[in-house]
């Protein structure tokens, strides 16, 4: 079902595993498919610049995963396998036999787990600033709890800027506007399910989940590109070296002056960093 139209893409809805999910479609019929998965508490618009650039060569689909963005909050929860089941049902519903996966943070975990079970379907993976386990620095206590409401969008942007000196003013504002909605009391609040905030992710500490990610990485046969934000502490050099030892198909690139959400912090540098891996020629000079 078409939700709304934009000059660059179409916003559509689909019911997957009992939940209404929104996805953005940069339709390029007849071209190979590229499926993009955002990170925890994020939303599909983080891929806009990348998707637009790649839409000349790929049919790009960016999914708002359950409980995120414009998708429905899920009554059956947010265990990692529920997300992976959604990815499987989504690509099946759209009839995607072969496709490329791009997953940022949590989306990278989902990409690994899905591909480990469907290796014949995924041609290559871009994993953005995520690995099977975090660095020690990333598991240390960091910022105070995320506020659930802000007095205005401007207040929310100012809060986001405190932890992100890298994104441009316009891109940071756009990202926050895409994450927020009217709280109904004069304030703004998050579109993502409130259950997703201020609760430690088990993936950061649970040996069972971490082991599954390492096992998945070892068994995935397709090429993998790990793109790190150079200012992000999440994927340490040690973890990256181990990833390359476990997967001979994995290569990596770092994006300078970018934090964790690389596609927001440095969207055009991310595009250029991934072109060769995706077989997309460099942009022509203006």
The pair of three-digit structure tokens given for residue 80, joined into one six-digit string: 């990692």
For residue 162, being part of any structural domain is answered with no
> Tokens in use for 68?
């995120």
Strand 180-182 to strand 188-190: parallel, antiparallel, or no bridges (unpaired)?
antiparallel
User: In this prediction, what percent of the chain has a pLDDT beyond 90?
Assistant: 89
Q: Is residue 188 part of a domain?
A: no
pLDDT in tens, 167-226: 999 999 999 999 999 999 999 999 999 999 998 899 999 999 999 999 999 999 999 999
- With respect to residue 83, please indicate whether it lies within any of the assigned structural domains: yes
Could you tell me if residue 271 is inside a domain?
Answer: yes
CA distance 36 to 50: 10
What is residue 4's predicted lDDT score, i.e. its pLDDT?
54
| pLDDT of the residue at 137 | 77
pLDDT reported for residue 284: 57
How many domains, the chain?
A: 1
What is the tens place of the pLDDT at every residue in 238-255? 999 999 999 989 999 999
Q: What is the mean pLDDT of residues 155-177?
A: 98
- Of 99-108, 131-140, 184-193, 229-238, the one with minimum mean pLDDT is 131-140
pLDDT grade for 7, boundaries at 50, 70 and 90: low
Residue 223: domain span = 2-135+205-278
Domain assignment present for residue 101? The answer is yes
Least confident of 119-123, 129-133, 200-204: 200-204
In a domain, 165, yes or no: no
Cα–Cα distance between 243 and 218 in angstroms, integer? 8
* Dihedral sign, Cα of residue 259, residue 216, residue 46, residue 122: positive
The pLDDT value recorded for residue 136 is 78
Q: Determine the angle formed by the axes of helices 237-246 and 207-219, rounding to 10 degrees.
A: 50
- pLDDT number for residue 231: 97
Is 184 part of any domain? no
**Within-domain flag for 200:** no
CATH code of the domain covering residue 81: 3.40.50.1820
Q: Residue 149 burial by CB count (10 A; 0-12/13-18/19+): exposed, middle or buried?
A: middle
* Mean predicted confidence (pLDDT) in 125-148: 86
Cα–Cα distance for residue pair 212/124, rounded to 1 Å? 19
pLDDT score recorded for residue 286 = 41
Q: Which of 51-55, 137-141, 278-282 has the lowest mean pLDDT?
A: 137-141
3-class secondary structure per residue, the chain: CEEEECCCCEEEEEEECCEEEEEEEECCCCCCEEEEECCCCCCHHHHHHHHHHHCCCCEEEEECCCCCCCCCCCCCCCCHHHHHHHHHHHHHHCCCCCEEEEEECHHHHHHHHHHHHCCCCEEEEEEECCCCCCCHHHHCCCCCCCCCEECCHHHHHHHHHHCCCCCCHHHHHHHHHHHEEECCCCCEEECCCHHHCCCCCHHHCCHHHHHHHHHHHHHCCCCEEEEEECCCCCCCHHHHHHHHHHCCCEEEEEECCCCCCHHHHCHHHHHHHHHHHHCCCCCCCC
What average pLDDT does the chain have? 94
């Amino acid at each position: 079902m078409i939700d709304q139209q934009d000059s660059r893409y179409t916003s559509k809805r689909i019911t997957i595993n009992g939940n209404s999910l929104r996805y953005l479609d940069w339709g390029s019929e007849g071209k190979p498919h590229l499926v993009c998965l955002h990170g925890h508490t994020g939303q599909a618009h983080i891929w806009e610049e990348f998707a637009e650039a790649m839409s000349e060569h790929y049919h790009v689909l960016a999914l708002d995963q359950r409980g995120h963005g414009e998708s429905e909050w899920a009554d059956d929860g947010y265990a990692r396998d529920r997300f992976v089941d959604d990815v499987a049902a989504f690509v099946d519903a759209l009839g995607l036999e072969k496709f490329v996966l791009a997953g940022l943070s949590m989306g990278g975990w989902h990409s690994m787990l899905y591909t480990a079970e469907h290796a014949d379907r995924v041609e290559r993976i871009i994993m953005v600033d995520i690995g099977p386990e975090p660095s020690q620095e990333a598991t240390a206590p960091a910022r105070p709890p995320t506020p659930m409401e802000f007095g205005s969008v401007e207040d929310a942007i100012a809060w986001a800027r405190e932890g992100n000196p890298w994104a441009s003013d316009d891109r940071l504002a756009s990202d926050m506007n895409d994450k927020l909605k009217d709280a109904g009391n004069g304030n703004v609040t998050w579109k993502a399910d409130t259950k997703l905030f201020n609760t430690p992710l088990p993936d950061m500490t649970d040996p069972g989940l971490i082991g599954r990610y390492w096992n998945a990485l070892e068994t995935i046969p397709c090429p993998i590109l790990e793109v790190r934000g150079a200012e992000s502490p999440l994927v340490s050099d040690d973890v990256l070296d181990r990833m390359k030892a476990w997967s001979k198909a994995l290569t990596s690139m770092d994006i300078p002056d970018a934090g964790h959400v690389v596609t927001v912090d440095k969207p055009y540098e991310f595009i250029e960093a991934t072109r060769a891996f995706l077989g997309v020629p460099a942009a022509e000079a203006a």
